[in-house]
Amino acid sequence: MMNVTIEGLLYFGAISLSLIGLFGLLASNNVFRMLLALVMFEAGANLILVLSGFRENGIAPIFLGDNAGAVMNDPVPQALVLTAIVIGVGIQALALALIFRVKKHYGTLDMGIIRSKLEVEIADQAGVAAPGSNQAPEVVDVTGEAK
Amino acid sequence: MTKYASLLFISGLAFFLMVITGFLPIGNSPMLVGNAILDSAKDQVGAANVVTSVVLAYRGLDTLGELSILFAAASVVGLVLTKSSFNKSPKEIEKPARIESEDSGFVAINAIDLIFPLLLVVGMYIITHGHLTPGGGFQGGVILAIAFSMRNIVRPKQKSVDHGVVTFIEAFAGLSFIVIGLVALFSQGNFLQPMLDQGQFGSLWSAGTIPLLYLAVGLKVGAELAGLILALNTDEVND
């Protein structure tokens, strides 16, 4: 029987958070929701990284007057996560801007519809027939309207 | 169907990761570089906050790379959202037809006006005490950016941030970060090596160039994020 510690619980939470994010990335069909899932995935990964620097009875790695000789947590993962968070914000803003453009151009955020429209456009540009059979059923939106 | 398949995959991955975590030496991290830094940072850098020592002294080049990634992201967001300006000179660009949003109500405007100077003080405090307390340029810069963009949100018609000023601050801060690094390279032998007198340990004027570097980082991050939020806040995407 494993004894449950607070660190174990934190690891459990961090891994669960990142896996929920990964599941959202795989399962959702909406581009914006995929971005949110990516943010969750990233948060979980950052938590795991910070936890990896934990030491038994460790305190924050800041020297104050009265804590000389105390065990301090590893500062390197914390600095790494600081970097990762900032880069994550940049990536999110970039992805959001691209989503703006996609919504403007295709009028939808649905991954399936975007992909089929994209294939038709690429085929048009290249001057070849669109992929797939011309007798295939039309792509249907969630609302049931033919696109 | 895909959802069930991915659910199965995720649960398998979860089991795998949990088992690995069970074998981890939790609480006795096997990484040794952290110990070495904790032992020597006090004398070599002189900053009370060891994370700041790692970010700006031991891994300073990395922070410069991080700043360039943020800069690249901010530039590309500007480029993507205003694509029509790509081939034109600045005078030819037509201003997009903005949907004029109304100002917010009395409560929101006065609350933001009240909170704005306090946010500036908190942001500057967090930036300037980055080498003593948790915090620093990145965190304080975000607070500064939020302060300015909140004013822009409650008063959409009145431009609270001038784009030219933002660009100037950003360029100046980035340049001074690199200049401090280069001065350290030529006088001390290493890029971004801590310079100047370390002062009394734990006081505000200590740790040599570290507070200056964090001030540059804070201004750059603040200006970049303010620019990002302003770019994303435009009502009409220029086609």
Please name each of the domains of chain A with its CATH number.
7-59+71-108 (1.10.287), 110-147 (no CATH)
Q: Does A28 touch chain B (CB under 8 A)?
A: no
Interchain CB distance below 8 Å, A55 and B33: no
- Selection from B77, B28, B201 nearest residue A98 by Cα: B77
- Selection from B64, B45, B49 nearest residue B221 by Cα: B64
pLDDT at A40 (0 to 100): 93
Which regions of chain B are under pLDDT 50? Answer: 238-239
Task: Say if residue A147's pLDDT is above 50.
Answer: no
Q: Report residue B118 as tokens.
A: 């306090």
pLDDT at B96 (0 to 100): 53
Cβ–Cβ under 8 Å, residues A75 and B50? yes
Instruction: Return the number of CB contacts < 8 Å for A and B.
Output: 146
- Express each pLDDT in A89-120 by its tens digit: 889 988 988 898 888 888 888 888 888 888 88
Cβ-Cβ contacts under 8 Å, A87 against chain B: 66, 69-70
Q: Does A75 touch chain B (CB under 8 A)?
A: yes
HSE toward the beta carbon, residue B84, CA cutoff 13 A: 10
pLDDT at B88 (0 to 100): 53
- Express each pLDDT in B100-149 by its tens digit: 567 778 888 889 889 999 999 999 999 888 888 888 888 898 898 888 88
- Express each pLDDT in A30-72 by its tens digit: 999 999 999 999 999 999 888 888 877 777 788 777 776 777 8
Q: Does A136 touch chain B (CB under 8 A)?
A: no
Mutating which of A57, A74, A106 best tests the B interface, going by the most B Cβ atoms within 10 A?
A74
Q: Report residue B231 as tokens.
A: 């770019």
Interchain CB distance below 8 Å, A75 and B9: no
Q: Which residue of A has its CA nearest to B233?
A: A97
Task: Say if residue A1's pLDDT is above 50.
Answer: no
